[in-house]
Amino acid sequence: MWYALTHYYLLLEIPMPSPKETLSTLFRAAIQSSYGIEMDPSIQPASRPEFGDFQANFALRLAKQLHKNPQEVARALVEKLNSGPVFNKLEVSGPGFINIHLSKQFLAYHLEQLMQDSRLGVPRSSHPDTIVIDYGGANVAKEMHVGHLRSAIIGDAFVRLLSFIGHHVIRQNHLGDWGTQFGMLIEYLAESNWQNDHTHTYNDLNIYYKQAKQRFDTDETFANRARARVVALQSGENESRAIWQQLVDESKAHFQETYDRLQILLTPADAVGESFYNDQLAILTSELIERGVAEIDQGAVVIFLEGFTDADGNRFPFLIRKQDGGYLYATTDLAALYYRTQVLKANRVFYVVDARQRQHFAMLFAAGKKAFGLADSIQLEHIAYGSVLGEDHKPLKTRSGDSIKLNELLTEAEKRAAEMVLQKHPDLTPDELASIARNVGIGALKYADLRADKIKDYVFSWEKMLAFEGNTGPYLQNAYVRILAIFRKGNIDPNDLPPFQIQLHEIMEHALAIKLSAFPDVIDTISANLHIHSLCDYLYDVASHFHRFYEHCPVLSAADLNVRHSRIGLCALTARTLARGLSLLGINVMDKM
């Protein structure tokens, strides 16, 4: 009878402050009215359960300003606030911390609202930013490597998270599709009639690339023809252009296959590679010389930037044109920065690129400010990530010492996941198995990458990433699956739940409720500090709290019907939080695994 209404489809966007925000507002107002001072009360989740739900640590700062005793200041504020319906108890502890215990009614009411909200309490930004996210960045005619995999996975999570907040996100895949290295490859391919050979595969290009390089290094006449090819390509000569275009097309198609397989949102339209900026480089360079931003130094064009010196204290130049007239990676990036801030009008530009390029981006941002007078309000951020290491803590390689082929890595992830799933469900159809294995395998790979503090190198381990226990993708997907199993067993349609009253009698219910209500705070913090791994930690916390709750609090067998309903509600909200959180990381959930 209580599943008569189809409420899921009636979920609304209900703007509501999270408990933490409510507390901030209340304390801020109390400080203001007591002392006439505007101060951030710095409300934090309590570090230990006995300290309550939240802690406020402002009293020490405030007391200093007032030349008073911090405990007294804290006590005075507690007295002022104590009567409200939000608190069960406020207590002063230590040198002047305030421990905040929320009232059950307040928390229960908040959760009832959350259950109706399609966004789980996350507000849509009222001042959306225009954010360019530069990610992917593979190189034409080369295999993508694990570094590019990290860029794709991390960049995509930012795209999803920032779009969900309501920002205008523009994906840019800065493909390496231009440069002098194409001269030798084109010359080599022209020679071997590659264009008319329809049996070649993408992987063959790797071999051709190596062979072309070897010819270039050992055969002087070949090297000269290769150099002439660079000029021909730049001037738009037909054959060279055609071969280059075919290389680009085949590479893009190959990259797209990998992105699709990984369920990365990048599309061919997002590929705005280095070649896109090619015809702007000369104009940009001469303009910068004219305006005195760049200067000629020993025949090259450079920008000198404050604060960049070598070990001996000599100025370290940002090189934008070589002595031979060639332009560089840096020149293209400068043109791209102009395009992104001035044409696309981005006020935030994020580069999800290997940490080894730190110096390049630091100089690029300084050069951009100097060259285009970018306002300080424009946020330029290098979202750097470390290398992927093997279990021997050396850069990840195959047993024979070659670099790992990305597609083989993905195949392996799916294969291992399929073995795992098949053990539990020997009766799956091949299609079902393939789809679950893909979600589990790719999800595990993505999760392992995202949960690592991205700046550190991360150690790649199939066993760890695919484990059902611990902070892993499969653990979280499995938590979701377990909740769906509860619904199935109870013959409950989670998409068809009526609004019902939440009751928080047990400690585990209360603890889970606090976790669930913190989702918007976590998203808000990440959008400022960009620590995407804290979303992983949060989801892991939610799942762990859920398991503890489920161990202690019977759901379907709860004797009291109201308690049963309330617990079903907590289950449903947990499932939605897990599914939403994982989807922001680009990871799917499914109904069995």
Positions touching ligand ARG (CB under 6 A) are 134, 137, 139, 174, 176, 333, 336, 351, 353
| Residue 207 in tokens | 């071999």
Q: Which is nearer to ligand ARG, 66 or 384 (CB)?
A: 384
Task: Say if residues 420 and 466 touch (Cβ distance below 8 Å).
Answer: yes
Q: Which is nearer to ligand ARG, 174 or 545 (CB)?
A: 174
Would you say 271 or 417 has its CB closer to ligand ARG? 271
Min separation Cβ 138 and ligand ARG, Å: 7
Taking the complex as a whole, how short is the minimal distance between the CB of residue 330 and ligand ARG, in angstroms?
Answer: 9
> Residue 124 — left, alpha, or beta (φ > 0 → left; ψ -120 to 50 → alpha)?
beta
* Tokens linked to 191: 């020679």
Q: By C-beta, is 187 or 333 nearer to ligand ARG?
A: 333
- What's the closest the beta carbon of residue 134 comes to ligand ARG, in angstroms? 5
For 309, the 3-state DSSP assignment is: strand
- Select 24 or 341, whichever has its Cβ closest to ligand ARG: 341
Nearer to ligand ARG, 261 or 360 (CB): 360
Distance separating alpha carbons of residues 351 and 433, to the nearest angstrom: 36
DSSP state of 41: -
Task: In angstroms, give the least distance from the CB of 202 to ligand ARG.
Answer: 17
**How is 169-235 classified by DSSP, letter by letter?**
EEEEB--B--STHHHHHHHHHHHTTGGG-TT--HHHHHHHHHHHHHHHHH-HHHHHHHHHHHHHHHH
Comparing CA positions, the residue from 549, 541, 106, 2 lying closest to residue 558 is 549
CA distance 219 to 342: 45
Query: By Cβ distance, which residue is nearest to ligand ARG?
Result: 137
Separation between Cα atoms, residue 265 and residue 169, nearest integer Å: 12
Q: Which is nearer to ligand ARG, 449 or 521 (CB)?
A: 449
Q: How far is the CB of 155 from ligand ARG (least distance, A)?
A: 10
User: In the complex, what is the shortest distance from the CB of residue 175 to ligand ARG, in angstroms, rounded to a whole number?
Assistant: 7
Tokens of 67: 């030349």
Q: HSE of 347 in the Cβ direction (CA atoms, 13 Å)?
A: 9
Query: Which is closer to ligand ARG, CB of 107 or CB of 352?
Result: 352
Fill in the amino acid letter for 87.
F
Sign of CA dihedral 557, 559, 565, 570: negative
Nearer to ligand ARG, 365 or 550 (CB): 365
Q: Quote the least distance from Cβ 274 to ligand ARG, whole Å.
A: 8
CB of 259 to ligand ARG, least distance (A): 15
Q: Which helix (H) or strand (E) holds 318?
A: strand 315-321
In the complex with ligand ARG, which residue's Cβ is closer, 24 or 139? Answer: 139
In whole angstroms, the minimum distance from the beta carbon of 320 to ligand ARG comes to 14
Q: How far is the CB of 137 from ligand ARG (least distance, A)?
A: 3
Residue 150 makes CB contacts below 8 A (sequence gap 6+) with: 354, 385, 388, 449, 454
CB burial string 285-304: b at 16+ within 10 A, e below: beebbeeebbeeeeebbbbb
